[in-house]
Chains A and B, each alone.
Chain A
Amino acid sequence: MKKLLFLGDEAIAQAAIDAGLSGVYSYPGTPSTEITEYIQSSRRAKERNIFSRWCSNEKTALEAALGMSYAGKRTLSCMKHVGLNVAADAFMNIAISGINGGMIIVTADDPSMHSSQNEQDNRLYGRFAMIPVFEPSNQQEAYDMVYEGYALSEKLGYPILLRITTRMAHSRAGVVTRELTDQNPVAIPEGSESRFVLLPANARKQFGVLLEKQEDFLKASEQSKFNQLFIPAKPSTAKLGIVACGIAFNYLQENYPDGFENPVLKISQYPVPKKQLQELVGQCEEILVLEDGFPVVEEQLKGYLGIGLNVHGRLDGTLSRDGELTPDKVRKALGMEVTTYYETPAVVESRPPALCAGCGHRDVYQALNEVAREYANAKIFSDIGCYTLGALPPFRAINTCIDMGASITMARGASEAGVFPAIAVIGDSTFTHSGMTGLLDCVNSGANVLVIISDNETTGMTGGQDSAATGRIHAICKGIGVDPEHLREIVPLKKNYEEMKQMIREEIEYQGVSVIVPCRECIQTLARKKRTK
């Protein structure tokens, strides 16, 4: 088979197609976006009628994926780490019902927060739900795990959580692909209701089944080719054993180009393989745990009181508790020197990202800032998207940005606490992701808020994916119950400045819920359309 150059994300996508995927259900989020985009632009996926349209949010995505799995087909759902928080209700309960057609859920975690608000490690979600977790160490393994993972998921009857990190998602390497598998037919086993109707009586039984299955999951890990124990012929420092999870294994290898000197357990499938771990521990006096993210395995080995095994890692300061691993951090943890020859000169300034020149969000913030300055205590509650960059100079326009949708709901709470004016700024895609329900709360409580839905007709920050909101915002707001007189639209352009400012003033002064929708297409997607014409 031919070797192809794939991002980790693309390797996952190609593997799913090759394994007989019937549908991918996702919401864009860095660093997971390219998986679904790859399937959307794949000719083979089109020929095979694989569903791949973006969903409104991660929860609707995961539930749609479950529906397809229920019908017997193989399905994929991809999200960034915080997206799994949104989908968590579905996620936890899929572990109770189990699945029919094979299901892989990809969580793309972001240690060091390259494009995120936190660096949660979603291997913990895998443990929380008690389902198997894959964590590839390289792109080929990512491909193989997905390709073989569907059969395993169907054999075990449970979804598999595939955990990658930014580095794996956005790094390219040669990958050998395998032969194309047929898609599953629609097949819903008799008596599926006892698993899929989670009334307490059924759920109790199903939880019992999940508990029983833990033994199978462990056995699968212990027999997995993705977990490997390396025992060097002549260990030089046999006292130290090393556990390397996922991509950390590469960083370890990098520091031992001629082969390991210590016993090493590579973990890429969870639950943690007990048999191999016992063998490692039996040979060593100390264990160093290398894992990218939280000290998940380290905590398991150490135990709460730290009695027993002598474990090093992120908890005892051998490695920093936060941030992405690097080959250099691993090198230091192994007690080796890191040598540099030059320093970054002090003259080098930081260069943060910024809103593009000509972006409509810029015009919105400029007008909003000018009006907000007319009030002593204006607070602006923003949200997740390109417009979060309004926090940086020259705008410094926003006071908060917490999670998808929190602009509207926080503005409501603050307004009810007495903040005036309380202004929410949210993008179109974020609005349909998680803003609509918050707006309904505002309408129902008669909150005194101004909601600005800055509509660029795309999901901009992740690179311009289709937005579920396009062409629908007015109707949605009206349907939710926003007074049509206070549901106003404007094109955010220089020539409309004064009009926009006046509109903002009026709607701040209106006692109740008002919505302004400044709408102008993202200049990036516009430029792309012009290029491809």
Chain B
Amino acid sequence: MKTDIILAGVGGQGILSIAAVIGEAALQNNLFMKQAEVHGMSQRGGDVQSHLRISDKPVASDLIPLGNVDIIISLEPMEALRYLHYLKKDGWVVTNSKPFENIPHYPEYGKLMEEFDKIPHKIILDVEQIAKDLGAPRSGNVVLLGAAARYLNIGFPGLENGIRSIFGRKGDEIVEMNLNALRAGAEKTEGNDLS
């Protein structure tokens, strides 16, 4: 079983934190993984992505080949579309619906949604609003991870453990907040098995 994931967003949105949670979960499940990150210049508000590969066999390439991605998880709708050429035919796109507009010619929202209409398997939700409603405004990224949980093939408890180890340093309150965010994201999408 191999899952190839692209995490996308804008520098500073927190894709590396969700990558770390998935990575930790994979490691605890004794799976092999490789995760290529972007550090440096692009982190200053530019587009950023991370290739994350999880498998029960050793993973060769740090980068995912084109047309092979099982799921694109994006904290920003236009950024989700940027990596569509990586997506498998029956792959999923799970994205935050809210644009991050820090460039002069950001496309019209309707035009973006027209493009999403062409993708057969997608989940689009306002993770920031869900996080705000939970009283955890900074956990939008974890809500998104929850929404994508069912496609990651590492099980919901694995992700919960990942959250406990990644956010553990920041105290019980933060851990609890993020566990709620994860669950809320999962509940917003159909068919997530939370056991």
Interface residues of A, Cβ cutoff 8 Å to B: 3, 5, 7, 30-31, 33-34, 114-115, 167-168, 170-174, 247, 250-251, 253-255, 257, 326-328, 331, 338-345, 347-356, 386, 389, 393, 461-463
Task: Say yes or no: is B132 at the interface (Cβ < 8 Å to chain A).
Answer: no
The answer to whether B81 and A348 have CB atoms under 8 Å apart is: yes
A41 vs chain B, min Cβ distance (A) = 12
Residues A353 and B36 in contact in the complex (CB < 8 Å), given A174-B27, A254-B60, A343-B84: no
One digit per residue, 1 when the CB lies within 8 angstroms of any chain A CB and 0 when it does not, for chain B 61-85 equals 1111111000000000011011111
CA of A174 to CA of B54 in the docked complex: distance in angstroms?
Answer: 11
Question: Would you list 15 pairs from A and B whose C-beta atoms are within 8 A, ordered by A residue?
Answer: A172-B33, A251-B60, A327-B64, A327-B65, A341-B87, A341-B88, A344-B82, A344-B83, A347-B78, A349-B105, A351-B78, A351-B102, A352-B103, A353-B43, A353-B46
The residue in B62, B64, B81 that gathers the most chain A C-beta atoms within 10 A of its C-beta is: B62
Of B107-115, B143-151, B152-160, B183-191, which binds chain A? B107-115
Q: Given A31-B40, A327-B61, does the pair A347, B46 have CB atoms closer than 8 Å?
A: no
Q: Closest residue of chain A to B36, judged by CB?
A: A171
What B residues does A344 contact at CB under 8 A? 81-85
Question: Does any Cβ of A come within 8 Å of B11's Cβ?
Answer: yes
Q: Are B44 and A354 in contact (CB-based, < 8 A)?
A: yes
Is B180 part of the binding interface, using a Cβ–Cβ cutoff of 8 Å? no
CB neighbours of B34 from chain A (8 A)? 171-173
A250, B112: Cβ atoms closer than 8 Å: no
Which residues of A have CB within 8 Å of B82? 344, 348
Instruction: Provide the residues of chain B in CB contact with A171, threshold 8 Å.
Output: 34-37, 62
Bound complex: CA of A386 vs CA of B112, how far in Å? 31
Which of B66, B107, B119 is close to A340, meaning CB atoms less than 8 Å apart?
Answer: B66
Q: Which of A340, A345, A351 has the most CB atoms of chain B within a 10 A radius of its CB? A: A351
Q: Is the CB of B84 within 8 A of A250?
A: no
Tell me, yes or no, whether B140 is within 8 Å of chain A by CB.
no
B70 → chain A closest CB, angstroms: 12
Establish whether residues A34 and B67, one from each chain, have CB atoms under 8 Å apart when the complex forms. Answer: no
Q: Which residue on A lies nearest to B42, using beta carbons?
A: A353
A327–B39 CA distance with the chains assembled, in angstroms = 21
Chain B interface residue count, CB cutoff 8 Å, equals 52
B10 / chain A contacts, CB cutoff of 8 Å: 351
**B23 — which chain A residues lie within 8 A by C-beta?**
5, 172
For residue B105, give the distance in angstroms from its CB to the closest CB of chain A. 5
Q: Which of A114, A247, A254, A350 has the most CB of B within 10 A?
A: A254
Is B85 in contact with A343, judged by CB distance below 8 angstroms?
A: yes
Question: Which residues from chain A contact B43 at a C-beta distance below 8 Å?
Answer: 353, 463
Q: How long is the Cα–Cα vector from A349 to B106 in the complex, in angstroms?
A: 7
**CB-contact partner of A354 in B46, B67, B111, B115, under 8 A:** B46
Asked whether any CB of chain A lies closer than 8 Å to the CB of B176, the reply is no
Pick the contact of A461: B40, B47, B60 (CB < 8 A): B40
Instruction: Please give, as numbers and ranges, the residues of chain A lying within 8 Å of B32 by CB-CB distance.
Output: 173-174
A393 and B33 CA atoms in complex are apart in Å by 39
Q: Which residue of B lies closest to A257 (CB)?
A: B60
Within 8 A of A (CB), among B1-39: 10-11, 23-24, 27, 32-39
CB neighbours (8 Å) of A257 from chain B are 60
In the complex, the answer to whether B44 meets A174 with C-beta atoms within 8 Å is no
CA distance A33 to B40 in the complex (A): 9
Q: Are B46 and A30 in contact (CB under 8 A)?
A: no
B104 interface contact, C-beta 8 A: yes
Closest-by-CB residue of A relative to B34 is A173
**CB neighbours of A341 from chain B (8 A):** 67, 87-89, 91
Do the beta carbons of B46 and A345 come within 8 Å of each other?
no
* A33 proximity list for chain B (CB < 8 A): 39
Interface check B59, CB cutoff 8 A: yes
CA–CA, A253 to B112, complex, Å? 37
Cα separation A341 to B63 with both chains bound (whole Å): 18
Residues in A whose Cβ lies below 8 Å from that of B45: 351, 353-354, 356
Q: Distance (Å) between the CB of A395 and the closest chain B CB?
A: 13
**Separation of A114 and B44 alpha carbons in the complex (Å):** 13
Q: Are A338 and B67 in contact (CB under 8 A)?
A: yes
B154 CB, min distance to chain A CBs, angstroms: 14
Which residues from B are CB-within-8-Å of A115? Answer: 39-42
Give bound CA distance, A23 to B54, whole Å. 35
Beyond A247-B62, A250-B62, A354-B102, whether A347 also contacts B41 by CB under 8 A is: no
Cβ 8 A contact of A170, one of B39, B47, B59? B39
Which residue in chain A gives the minimum CB-CB distance to B84?
Answer: A342
Known: A114-B38, A342-B84. A393 touches B63 (CB 8 A): no
How far does the Cβ of A341 sit from chain B's closest Cβ, in whole Å? Answer: 4
Q: Is the CB of A393 within 8 A of B61?
A: no
The answer to whether A254 touches B61 (Cβ under 8 A) is yes
- Whether A251 touches B61, Cβ cut-off 8 Å, given contacts A171-B37, A347-B115, is yes
Instruction: For the complex formed, measure the closest distance between the CB of B33 and the CB atoms of chain A, giving whole angstroms.
Output: 7
A115 and B39 CA atoms in complex are apart in Å by 9
Question: Closest Cβ of chain A: how far from B6's Cβ, in Å?
Answer: 12
5 shortest interchain CB distances as A-B pairs? A353-B46, A30-B40, A115-B40, A253-B60, A254-B61
Given contacts A349-B103, A351-B78, 5 further A-B contacts (CB under 8 A): A251-B63, A343-B84, A347-B78, A349-B105, A350-B47
Complex CA gap A69/B122 in Å reads 57
Q: With A114-B38, A353-B45 in contact, is A173–B33 under 8 Å at CB?
A: yes
Known: A114-B41, A254-B61, A344-B84. A338 touches B11 (CB 8 A): no
Residue contact B115 to A345, C-beta cutoff 8 Å: yes
Q: A345–B10 Cα gap in the complex (Å)?
A: 18
B67–A339 CB distance below 8 A: yes
Q: Which residues of B contact A461 (CB under 8 A)?
A: 40-41, 44
Could you tell me if B44 and A353 are in contact, using CB atoms closer than 8 angstroms?
Answer: yes
Q: Which residue of B lies closest to A253 (CB)?
A: B60
Report whether B44 and A356 are in contact in the complex, using a CB–CB cutoff of 8 Å. yes
Chain B residues lying within 8 Å of A347, measured Cβ to Cβ, are 78, 81, 107, 111-112, 115
CA distance A349 to B112 in the complex (A): 11
Report the Cα distance A345→B119, complex, angstroms.
11
Measured between C-beta atoms, what is the minimum distance from A264 to chain B in Å? 13
Supposing A253-B60, A347-B81, A349-B105 touch, asked if A167 and B36 sit within 8 A by C-beta, the answer is yes
Which of A34, A247, A349 is close to B39, meaning CB atoms less than 8 Å apart? A34
Residues of B within 8 A of A251 (CB): 60-61, 63
Task: List the B side residues contacting A7 at CB < 8 Å.
Answer: 37
Q: Determine how close the nearest CB of chain A comes to the CB of B137; give it in whole angstroms.
A: 15
